[in-house]
Amino acid sequence: MNYMEIKWYKFKESFEKFIIRDLEKALKANIEVGTIILTVIGIESLSGYFVGEKSNGKTFKKFIDTFMPAYSNHAESLYKCIRNGLAHDYIIKEYEGKSFLLTRDSGGKHLEPVYGNNGWFYLNREQFALDFLKAQKEFFLAVEKDVQIQERALRHLNKNGFLDVFSSHSEINFDYPSDETDECHSVTGTSQY
């Protein structure tokens, strides 16, 4: 395994730990808004790897179009109303007359128009999260099978890194390339906090 393959494996492991497992726990515990926040963060994060660029509304839409096509007509509204609304103001915003009413119950209304509110749709938090969980599996399979997607994902990973959280008493080992080669050098230390 070369350096980038190891780094990708570590990213995938971290993503599963901090997005997927937390999202599964949120669903099981019936956490309302946290489920939606983790879902849109997951979509936005993977969208940057999928496109090979810093994630934004355009990468979000490309990920949705490819891996969650049932949401394609709503991708821009999901980003502007849900993602931006929750991230910036902890609300569901309205964008160009469009927005969402959230439903919580399993099997509740989902992606259906809201009667009397033209441009508004129901969004079932559980179904949205489950659809993302399926989409992220498809994404990781696509990275393994499609060389172009893999190159974009690795380019994004190499440029941006990823989140990892360490125990305050754990030994921390950072491997990084010293130059343009795949030769790795290690930095090891023990956290004192």
pLDDT at res. 170 = 59
Q: Given this model, what pLDDT does residue 62 score? A: 98
pTM of the predicted model as reported, rounded to 2 decimal places: 0.85
Q: Which residues of the chain have pLDDT under 70?
A: 166-193
The domains of the chain are located at 3-190
Q: What is the pLDDT of residue 77?
A: 97
Closest residue by Cα to residue 162 from 4, 39, 1: 4
The whole-number pLDDT of residue 175 equals 53
The pLDDT, as a whole number, for residue 38 is: 96
The Cα 171–Cα 56 span in angstroms is: 34
Helix axis angle, 21-28 relative to 125-145, nearest 10°?
Answer: 160
- At residue 182, the pLDDT reads 43
Tokens of 143: 């990275």
Q: What is the pLDDT of residues 163-177, one digit of tens each?
A: 777 666 656 555 554
Which distant-in-sequence residues (6+ apart) come within 8 Å of 64 by Cβ?
A: 43, 47, 71, 72, 75, 78
